[in-house]
Amino acid sequence: MRPLRTRNLIAAALVCALAFTATMAHAADTLPSWNDGAVKQSIVNFVAKVTKAGSPDFVPESQRIATFDNDGTLWAEQPMYFQVVFALDRVKALAPQHPEWQTTEPFASLLKGDLKAALAGGERSIVEIVMATHAGMTTQEFEQIVTGWVATARHPKTKRLYTEMVYQPMLELLAYLRANGFKTFIVSGGGVDFMRVFSERVYGIPPEQVVGSTGKVKFELRDGKPVLVKLPEIQLVDDKDGKPIGIHQYIGRRPIAAFGNSDGDLQMLQWTAAGSGPRFMGLIRHTDADREWAYDRQSSIGRLDKALDEGQAKGWTVVDMKRDWKIIFPPEKK
């Protein structure tokens, strides 16, 4: 054993004391943007229960898997999914290289500024737009494009960067769970190559913990240098049934906690609920037309209908944004 002198002892003690103080400060500030009430209490109780060694509800760290939807759960999704805005911006940027788009739908309407006509074809139009803007380039090229967009594009209503349209209470929840030994994952219908560009910086969730809709890629050697080319073919639509499938294939372990906000999250919540031992199923309800948006059963984006019925019937935690959240978005940096 290396001899330690008193001076070293004191220094080591100070380091430990500082670490200890930081932990105490964190505990006192748990979920500061959440109003006190049944919802906050249900989260804190669940975490206390599964982390208490020796208790019958104790869950070992390795099994503390928490999954989060992204659109409408971690960041906003109105007036349309942010990734769709990205795709539309890309169509405009790429138009000079595609003269044929001037006369082909849905691109023609889109370039004339008629979004409604462009999206009249429903899901097929969106798929066409996404394929035209998310494929035919290497994964590295796509990453650079998204990086540039995320750094500059601004939300039409708030004029903030899209990555600032994240929910402050959810950022605190992610950090709180991680501080309690949870591993946090995104499980979203959004494109995985899109989300991974900013997930670590914005949410503290590294790329390898992001599950999302996935396109096929092809390996190629170009001048002896390997690249992966994004193909216009879907591998996984990580929505509805696709969420438990994605969880199984990519994580390989059932979450003990899951959070969503729409019917697209129902199967993920059912899958989470069906495991044994303590479980937490959370639904974020958009109830705040002043500070965010208010929508649920009738919305074409983020419809919350069946999942709300099932959640209420089964006693899942329903977060009411207006009632439960002190603030919605992080304060603007001066």
List interacting residues with a second copy (CB under 8 A).
1-2, 4, 8-10, 12-13, 15-17, 20-21, 24, 62, 65, 139, 183, 185, 192-193, 196, 200, 206-210, 214, 217-219, 221, 225-226, 228, 235, 241, 244-245, 248-253, 267, 270-271, 274
Toward a second copy, which CB reaches closer, 119 or 202?
202
Closer to a second copy by Cβ: residue 114 or 208: 208
Nearer to a second copy, 8 or 102 (CB): 8
CB of 117 or CB of 251, closer to a second copy: 251
Return the SS3 of 327: coil
- CB-CB contact of 142 with 134 (8 Å): yes
Q: Which two tokens stand for residue 31?
A: 């979920």
State the sign of the Cα–Cα–Cα–Cα dihedral 242, 248, 253, 254: positive
Closest CB to a second copy among residues 35, 270: 270
State how far the Cα of 86 lies from the Cα of 89, in Å rounded to an integer. Answer: 5
- Residue 308 CA to residue 330 CA, distance in Å, equals 27
Nearer to a second copy, 94 or 228 (CB): 228
Residue 99 corresponds to which tokens in the numbers above?
Answer: 């003269």
Smallest separation, CB 245 to a second copy (Å): 6
Triad 95, 98, 101: Cα angle to 5°: 80
Least Cβ distance, residue 298 to a second copy (angstroms): 26
Least CB distance to a second copy at residue 187 (A): 12
Nearest approach in angstroms of CB 249 to a second copy is 6
In 97-240, the DSSP E strands lie at 183-191, 210-222, 225-236
Place of tokens 């001048």: 223
Minimum separation from the CB atom of position 282 to a second copy (A): 18
- Helix (DSSP H) and strand (DSSP E) numbers for the chain: 14, 8
Q: What minimum distance in Å lies between the beta carbon of 228 and a second copy?
A: 5
| Adjacent-strand bridge partners of 214 | 236
